Amino acid sequence: MDPVQDNPIGVPLTGAPLGADASDLGSLLKRASRGDNEAFAGIYDATAARVHGLVLRVVRDPAQSEEVTQEVFLEVWRQSSRYDAERGSALAWLMTIAHRKAVDRVRSAEAASRRDETYEQRNHTPDHDTTAEAAQASMEARRVRAALAHLTEVQREAIELAYFGGYTHTEVAALLDLPVGTAKTRIRDGLIRLRDTIGVGR
């Protein structure tokens, strides 16, 4: 039997706020990596509400947010053995997975929307001004996505939380388990690099 099926992921997300400290979560992850169902349930109980809150802020759709939250904990169960305490806190590792899954869902939805738009364009002839405006917006979006690839992983993570996730600098710092000053530096440096990269591409 899959241990994930024994955990309350499929029920409404009413998990308690984070109660375990970083060392507790790290220990629970190690136990979960060895197939300990109770440890996994402890991780879920301690972090479900916070994970769901992050996902909801990115995805903005309650039903999809619950689906993504389930995907996050399934990933945590499967990848728990890959957690490395020397590279960061257990909470930061888990929230990074949550943010990545949420962004993936948003990108998937955007791709579906683009497919719908393509269908509409093939069956309707928009006026010239509308076409030019859409083309310009698409070019800008591609330029930004290409520029994000030039950031370091930590810069990109902070930028995505701040500008795609809508978090304040203080919230970004809390999510990444960093001092506020460090989070601000990563965001500032990432923005400077984005500006320079986009400027070069023009």
User: Which CA distances in Å does 116 have to 43, 112, 132, 201?
Assistant: 39, 6, 18, 29
- pLDDT (tens place) for every residue of the chain, 202 residues total: 344 333 333 333 333 344 455 568 999 999 999 999 999 999 999 999 999 999 999 999 999 999 999 999 999 999 999 999 888 899 999 999 999 999 999 998 888 767 767 766 677 655 545 545 555 555 566 666 777 777 888 888 887 787 777 778 888 888 888 898 888 888 888 788 777 777 654 4
| Structural domains of the chain ordered from first start | 3-98 (1.10.1740.10), 127-201 (1.10.10.10)
What per-residue confidence (pLDDT) applies to 141? 60
pTM (predicted TM-score): 0.51
Handedness of CA 160, 165, 167, 173 (dihedral sign): negative
| Cα–Cα distance, 200 to 147 (Å, whole number) | 10
Burial (0-12, 13-18, 19+ Cβ within 10 Å), 14:
exposed
pLDDT of residue 59: 93
Compute the distance between CA of residue 202 and CA of residue 199 in angstroms, rounded to an integer.
5
Task: Give me the DSSP letters along 17-75.
Answer: PP-S-HHHHHHHHHHHHTT-HHHHHHHHHHHHHHHHHHHHHHH--HHHHHHHHHHHHHH
pLDDT of residue 37: 92
Q: What span, in angstroms and rounded, lies between the C-alpha atoms of 72 and 55?
A: 9
- pLDDT for the residue numbered 47: 94
